[in-house]
Protein backbone atom coordinates (compact mmCIF):
# COMPACT_ATOMS: atom_id res chain seq x y z
CA UNK A 1 0.00 0.00 0.00
CA UNK A 2 2.69 2.44 1.01
CA UNK A 3 4.67 1.32 -2.01
CA UNK A 4 1.65 2.04 -4.22
CA UNK A 5 1.31 5.50 -2.81
CA UNK A 6 4.99 6.22 -3.30
CA UNK A 7 4.83 4.95 -6.88
CA UNK A 8 1.73 7.01 -7.58
CA UNK A 9 3.32 10.13 -6.15
CA UNK A 10 6.45 9.62 -8.22
CA UNK A 11 4.39 9.05 -11.36
CA UNK A 12 2.31 12.15 -10.66
CA UNK A 13 5.46 14.15 -10.13
CA UNK A 14 6.98 12.85 -13.38
CA UNK A 15 3.77 13.69 -15.23
CA UNK A 16 3.98 17.25 -14.00
CA UNK A 17 7.54 17.33 -15.30
CA UNK A 18 6.41 16.38 -18.84
CA UNK A 19 7.66 12.82 -18.46
CA UNK A 20 5.48 9.75 -18.29
CA UNK A 21 5.71 7.03 -15.66
CA UNK A 22 8.55 5.28 -17.46
CA UNK A 23 10.70 8.42 -17.33
CA UNK A 24 10.56 9.40 -20.98
CA UNK A 25 9.31 12.68 -22.39
CA UNK A 26 5.59 12.52 -23.11
CA UNK A 27 5.13 15.98 -24.59
CA UNK A 28 5.04 16.85 -28.28
CA UNK A 29 8.00 15.42 -30.15
CA UNK A 30 9.35 14.76 -33.60
CA UNK A 31 7.53 17.46 -35.60
CA UNK A 32 9.47 19.66 -37.97
CA UNK A 33 9.10 23.41 -38.14
CA UNK A 34 7.45 25.00 -41.19
CA UNK A 35 9.88 25.70 -44.01
CA UNK A 36 10.54 29.41 -43.87
CA UNK A 37 13.86 30.24 -45.46
CA UNK A 38 14.35 27.18 -47.61
CA UNK A 39 17.73 27.24 -49.31
CA UNK A 40 17.77 25.38 -52.60
CA UNK A 41 20.55 23.18 -53.79
CA UNK A 42 23.17 21.22 -51.93
CA UNK A 43 21.89 19.61 -48.80
CA UNK A 44 21.36 22.68 -46.66
CA UNK A 45 18.67 22.25 -44.05
CA UNK A 46 16.09 25.00 -43.91
CA UNK A 47 15.85 27.01 -40.74
CA UNK A 48 13.80 25.18 -38.13
CA UNK A 49 13.69 21.92 -40.10
CA UNK A 50 15.38 19.88 -37.34
CA UNK A 51 14.23 21.57 -34.12
CA UNK A 52 15.87 18.92 -31.90
CA UNK A 53 19.32 19.47 -33.40
CA UNK A 54 21.86 20.59 -30.82
CA UNK A 55 25.35 21.91 -31.51
CA UNK A 56 27.79 20.97 -28.78
CA UNK A 57 31.19 22.45 -28.02
CA UNK A 58 33.31 20.18 -25.84
CA UNK A 59 36.26 21.93 -24.27
CA UNK A 60 39.34 21.04 -22.30
CA UNK A 61 42.67 22.80 -21.87
CA UNK A 62 41.32 25.78 -23.79
CA UNK A 63 40.65 23.67 -26.88
CA UNK A 64 37.12 22.95 -28.05
CA UNK A 65 35.66 20.75 -30.73
CA UNK A 66 32.22 20.55 -32.22
CA UNK A 67 29.75 17.69 -32.11
CA UNK A 68 26.05 17.19 -32.61
CA UNK A 69 23.37 16.13 -30.17
CA UNK A 70 19.61 15.58 -30.02
CA UNK A 71 17.14 17.22 -27.67
CA UNK A 72 15.02 14.43 -26.12
CA UNK A 73 13.11 16.35 -23.43
CA UNK A 74 13.00 19.88 -22.06
CA UNK A 75 16.34 19.40 -20.34
CA UNK A 76 18.19 16.39 -21.72
CA UNK A 77 20.38 16.00 -24.79
CA UNK A 78 21.57 12.67 -26.16
CA UNK A 79 24.99 12.49 -27.83
CA UNK A 80 27.97 10.18 -28.39
CA UNK A 81 30.22 9.36 -25.44
CA UNK A 82 33.33 10.02 -27.57
CA UNK A 83 32.19 13.64 -27.95
CA UNK A 84 32.12 14.39 -24.24
CA UNK A 85 34.14 11.75 -22.41
CA UNK A 86 37.35 13.69 -21.93
CA UNK A 87 36.19 17.24 -21.58
CA UNK A 88 35.94 19.74 -18.78
CA UNK A 89 33.23 22.00 -20.13
CA UNK A 90 30.41 21.51 -22.59
CA UNK A 91 28.29 24.22 -24.18
CA UNK A 92 25.10 23.60 -26.10
CA UNK A 93 23.40 25.76 -28.68
CA UNK A 94 19.87 24.98 -29.70
CA UNK A 95 17.90 26.50 -32.55
CA UNK A 96 21.15 27.04 -34.42
CA UNK A 97 21.15 27.12 -38.22
CA UNK A 98 24.17 29.05 -39.44
CA UNK A 99 26.95 28.63 -36.93
CA UNK A 100 28.75 31.75 -38.14
CA UNK A 101 25.81 33.98 -37.53
CA UNK A 102 23.96 34.17 -34.24
CA UNK A 103 20.32 34.17 -35.20
CA UNK A 104 17.81 35.44 -32.67
CA UNK A 105 16.29 31.98 -32.21
CA UNK A 106 19.44 30.53 -30.72
CA UNK A 107 19.51 29.36 -27.13
CA UNK A 108 22.94 28.98 -25.54
CA UNK A 109 23.21 26.92 -22.37
CA UNK A 110 25.92 25.06 -20.53
CA UNK A 111 25.80 21.42 -19.58
CA UNK A 112 25.59 20.71 -15.85
CA UNK A 113 25.67 16.92 -16.01
CA UNK A 114 27.58 14.70 -18.38
CA UNK A 115 26.58 11.06 -17.94
CA UNK A 116 28.73 8.72 -20.01
CA UNK A 117 27.65 5.08 -20.38
CA UNK A 118 29.63 2.99 -17.89
CA UNK A 119 30.54 0.43 -20.57
CA UNK A 120 31.71 2.98 -23.12
CA UNK A 121 34.98 1.80 -24.65
CA UNK A 122 37.12 4.54 -26.15
CA UNK A 123 38.95 2.09 -28.44
CA UNK A 124 36.14 -0.01 -29.90
CA UNK A 125 33.53 2.76 -29.43
CA UNK A 126 31.13 0.22 -27.94
CA UNK A 127 28.28 1.90 -26.00
CA UNK A 128 29.07 5.29 -27.53
CA UNK A 129 26.28 7.18 -25.77
CA UNK A 130 26.03 9.98 -23.21
CA UNK A 131 23.21 11.97 -21.67
CA UNK A 132 23.73 15.66 -21.01
CA UNK A 133 21.62 17.85 -18.79
CA UNK A 134 21.07 21.46 -19.79
CA UNK A 135 21.66 24.16 -17.19
CA UNK A 136 17.98 25.10 -17.38
CA UNK A 137 14.71 23.55 -18.50
CA UNK A 138 13.44 24.85 -21.80
CA UNK A 139 9.99 26.40 -22.02
CA UNK A 140 8.89 24.34 -25.01
CA UNK A 141 5.34 25.62 -25.08
CA UNK A 142 6.37 29.22 -24.52
CA UNK A 143 9.51 31.16 -25.32
CA UNK A 144 11.29 28.10 -26.76
CA UNK A 145 8.41 26.81 -28.87
CA UNK A 146 10.61 26.83 -31.96
CA UNK A 147 12.50 23.91 -30.37
CA UNK A 148 11.10 20.40 -30.09
CA UNK A 149 12.50 17.13 -28.73
CA UNK A 150 12.75 14.18 -31.08
CA UNK A 151 10.79 11.02 -30.17
CA UNK A 152 12.71 7.94 -29.12
CA UNK A 153 12.04 4.76 -31.05
CA UNK A 154 11.60 1.64 -28.96
CA UNK A 155 11.57 -0.76 -31.89
CA UNK A 156 14.39 -1.92 -34.08
CA UNK A 157 14.49 0.11 -37.30
CA UNK A 158 14.05 -1.92 -40.50
CA UNK A 159 16.63 -2.31 -43.21
CA UNK A 160 16.04 0.05 -46.18
CA UNK A 161 14.14 2.66 -44.16
CA UNK A 162 15.42 6.02 -45.34
CA UNK A 163 16.65 8.12 -42.46
CA UNK A 164 18.35 11.51 -42.28
CA UNK A 165 21.57 12.46 -40.52
CA UNK A 166 22.18 16.13 -39.75
CA UNK A 167 25.31 18.01 -38.72
CA UNK A 168 27.81 20.78 -39.31
CA UNK A 169 30.63 18.33 -40.11
CA UNK A 170 32.73 17.98 -43.21
CA UNK A 171 31.13 17.34 -46.59
CA UNK A 172 32.56 16.22 -49.93
CA UNK A 173 32.79 19.82 -51.02
CA UNK A 174 34.14 21.75 -48.06
CA UNK A 175 35.92 21.13 -44.80
CA UNK A 176 32.86 22.04 -42.85
CA UNK A 177 29.69 23.96 -43.40
CA UNK A 178 28.39 26.95 -41.54
CA UNK A 179 24.81 25.97 -42.46
CA UNK A 180 23.36 22.79 -40.95
CA UNK A 181 23.56 19.95 -43.49
CA UNK A 182 21.28 16.99 -43.97
CA UNK A 183 21.93 13.73 -45.76
CA UNK A 184 19.51 10.90 -46.50
CA UNK A 185 20.87 7.53 -45.44
CA UNK A 186 18.99 4.26 -45.73
CA UNK A 187 19.40 1.71 -42.96
CA UNK A 188 21.82 -0.89 -44.32
CA UNK A 189 21.97 -4.59 -43.69
CA UNK A 190 24.09 -5.34 -40.60
CA UNK A 191 26.20 -7.63 -42.80
CA UNK A 192 27.67 -4.61 -44.61
CA UNK A 193 29.06 -3.22 -41.36
CA UNK A 194 30.18 -6.65 -40.17
CA UNK A 195 32.13 -7.01 -43.43
CA UNK A 196 33.75 -3.67 -42.87
CA UNK A 197 34.45 -3.73 -39.14
CA UNK A 198 34.21 -7.37 -38.13
CA UNK A 199 33.46 -7.93 -34.46
CA UNK A 200 33.79 -4.24 -33.63
CA UNK A 201 30.33 -3.78 -35.15
CA UNK A 202 27.67 -5.05 -32.71
CA UNK A 203 24.33 -5.29 -34.47
CA UNK A 204 22.35 -5.40 -31.23
CA UNK A 205 23.71 -2.03 -30.06
CA UNK A 206 24.62 -0.35 -33.33
CA UNK A 207 22.90 0.58 -36.58
CA UNK A 208 24.56 0.43 -39.98
CA UNK A 209 23.45 3.15 -42.44
CA UNK A 210 24.41 4.45 -45.86
CA UNK A 211 24.85 2.93 -49.33
CA UNK A 212 28.35 1.77 -50.33
CA UNK A 213 29.96 3.89 -53.07
CA UNK A 214 27.39 6.66 -53.21
CA UNK A 215 29.49 9.23 -51.29
CA UNK A 216 26.67 10.16 -48.92
CA UNK A 217 27.93 9.82 -45.40
CA UNK A 218 28.48 11.50 -42.08
CA UNK A 219 31.95 12.83 -41.26
CA UNK A 220 34.09 14.59 -38.65
CA UNK A 221 32.06 17.06 -36.66
CA UNK A 222 28.82 15.18 -37.22
CA UNK A 223 29.53 12.82 -34.31
CA UNK A 224 26.89 12.65 -31.63
CA UNK A 225 24.22 14.02 -33.95
CA UNK A 226 20.94 12.33 -34.85
CA UNK A 227 20.13 9.65 -37.36
CA UNK A 228 16.41 10.42 -37.50
CA UNK A 229 13.78 8.29 -39.20
CA UNK A 230 10.15 8.94 -40.04
CA UNK A 231 7.62 6.25 -40.83
CA UNK A 232 4.68 7.32 -42.98
CA UNK A 233 2.94 10.24 -41.32
CA UNK A 234 4.31 9.57 -37.84
CA UNK A 235 6.72 11.87 -36.04
CA UNK A 236 10.50 11.77 -36.49
CA UNK A 237 12.15 9.16 -34.31
CA UNK A 238 15.71 9.08 -33.10
CA UNK A 239 17.17 5.74 -34.14
CA UNK A 240 20.88 6.40 -34.23
CA UNK A 241 23.64 8.56 -32.81
CA UNK A 242 26.50 9.25 -35.23
CA UNK A 243 29.42 7.21 -33.88
CA UNK A 244 32.13 6.18 -36.33
CA UNK A 245 32.63 5.48 -39.97
CA UNK A 246 34.39 5.85 -43.14
CA UNK A 247 37.84 5.08 -44.19
CA UNK A 248 39.40 8.48 -44.64
CA UNK A 249 40.49 9.63 -48.06
CA UNK A 250 42.37 12.79 -47.35
CA UNK A 251 40.08 14.60 -44.98
CA UNK A 252 36.92 13.43 -46.68
CA UNK A 253 34.52 10.74 -45.65
CA UNK A 254 33.32 8.97 -48.74
CA UNK A 255 33.01 5.37 -47.75
CA UNK A 256 29.58 4.62 -46.37
CA UNK A 257 28.11 2.77 -44.58
CA UNK A 258 28.88 4.22 -41.16
CA UNK A 259 28.01 3.14 -37.66
CA UNK A 260 25.43 4.74 -35.38
CA UNK A 261 24.66 3.88 -31.76
CA UNK A 262 21.31 2.05 -31.76
CA UNK A 263 19.14 4.24 -29.51
CA UNK A 264 16.38 1.63 -28.99
CA UNK A 265 18.91 -0.63 -27.27
CA UNK A 266 19.59 2.04 -24.64
CA UNK A 267 16.04 3.08 -23.73
CA UNK A 268 16.17 1.32 -20.33
CA UNK A 269 19.42 3.17 -19.55
CA UNK A 270 17.95 6.52 -20.60
CA UNK A 271 14.73 5.95 -18.61
CA UNK A 272 16.59 4.93 -15.49
CA UNK A 273 18.73 8.07 -15.51
CA UNK A 274 15.88 10.43 -16.25
CA UNK A 275 13.75 9.02 -13.44
CA UNK A 276 16.62 9.00 -10.98
CA UNK A 277 17.76 12.50 -11.81
CA UNK A 278 14.29 13.94 -11.46
CA UNK A 279 14.00 12.40 -8.01
CA UNK A 280 17.41 13.86 -7.16
CA UNK A 281 16.64 17.34 -8.37
CA UNK A 282 13.42 17.28 -6.35
CA UNK A 283 15.53 16.75 -3.29
CA UNK A 284 18.19 19.16 -4.45
CA UNK A 285 21.28 16.98 -4.67
CA UNK A 286 22.05 16.95 -8.38
CA UNK A 287 25.70 16.36 -9.07
CA UNK A 288 27.10 18.79 -11.59
CA UNK A 289 29.93 16.92 -13.19
CA UNK A 290 30.94 13.94 -15.25
CA UNK A 291 30.10 10.49 -14.07
CA UNK A 292 29.39 7.11 -15.50
CA UNK A 293 26.12 5.27 -15.26
Ligand X SMILES: *[C@@H]1O[C@H](CO)[C@@H](O)[C@H](O)[C@H]1NC(C)=O
Active-site residue set: 82, 128, 223
Q: Is 104 in the site for ligand X (CB under 6 A)?
A: no
* Residue 107 vs 207, nearer CB to ligand X: 207
In whole angstroms, how close is the CB of 113 to ligand X at the nearest point?
19
Cβ closer to ligand X: 160 or 247? 160
CB of 259 to ligand X, least distance (A): 18
Binder of ligand X out of 36, 160, 213, 249 (CB under 6 A): 160
- Angle value at C-alpha 57, between 163 and 98, nearest 5 degrees: 65
Pick between residue 86 and residue 141 the one whose CB is nearest to ligand X.
Answer: 86
Q: Is 162 a residue that touches ligand X (CB under 6 A)?
A: no
Dihedral sign computed on CA atoms, order 280, 107, 22, 10: positive
Instruction: Compute the least distance from the CB of residue 247 to ligand X, in Å.
Output: 21
Given the complex with ligand X, which of 32 and 161 has the nearer CB atom? 161
Burial label, 176 (beta-carbon count in 10 A; 0-12, 13-18, 19+): middle
Least Cα distance to 69 among 224, 264, 262, 273 occurs for 224
214 is a site residue for ligand X (CB under 6 A): no
The residues that bridge with 179 in the sheet, in sequence order, are 98
Helix, strand, or coil (residue 122): coil
Judged by CB under 6 A, does residue 213 bind ligand X? no
- Decide whether 122 or 214 has the Cβ nearer to ligand X: 122
Task: Please report how close the Cβ of residue 159 comes to ligand X at its closest, in angstroms.
Answer: 4
Closest CA to 228 of 4, 72, 42: 72
Which positions from 109 to 148 touch ligand X by CB under 6 A, shown as an x/- string? -------------x--------------------------
Query: How far is Cα 85 from Cα 75, in angstroms, rounded to an integer?
Result: 19
- What is the rounded distance in angstroms from the CA atom of residue 129 to the CA atom of residue 149? 17
According to CB under 6 A, which residues from 77 to 96 bind ligand X? Answer: 86
- A 10 A CB-CB count for 13 gives 13
Q: Report in angstroms how near the CB of residue 273 gets to ligand X at its nearest.
A: 20
Burial class for 33, CB neighbours closer than 10 Å (0-12, 13-18, 19+) = middle
Residues binding ligand X (CB under 6 A): 86, 122, 159-160
Amino acid sequence: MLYNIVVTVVILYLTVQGLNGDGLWKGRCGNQGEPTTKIMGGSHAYMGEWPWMVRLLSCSDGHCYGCGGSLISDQWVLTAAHCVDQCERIYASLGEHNREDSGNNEVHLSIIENIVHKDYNNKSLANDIALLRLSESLDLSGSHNHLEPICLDSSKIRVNTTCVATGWGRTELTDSHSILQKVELPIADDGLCVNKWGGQYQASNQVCAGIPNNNKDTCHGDSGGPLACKLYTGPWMLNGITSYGSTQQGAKCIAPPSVYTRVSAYLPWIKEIMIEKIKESRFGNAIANRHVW
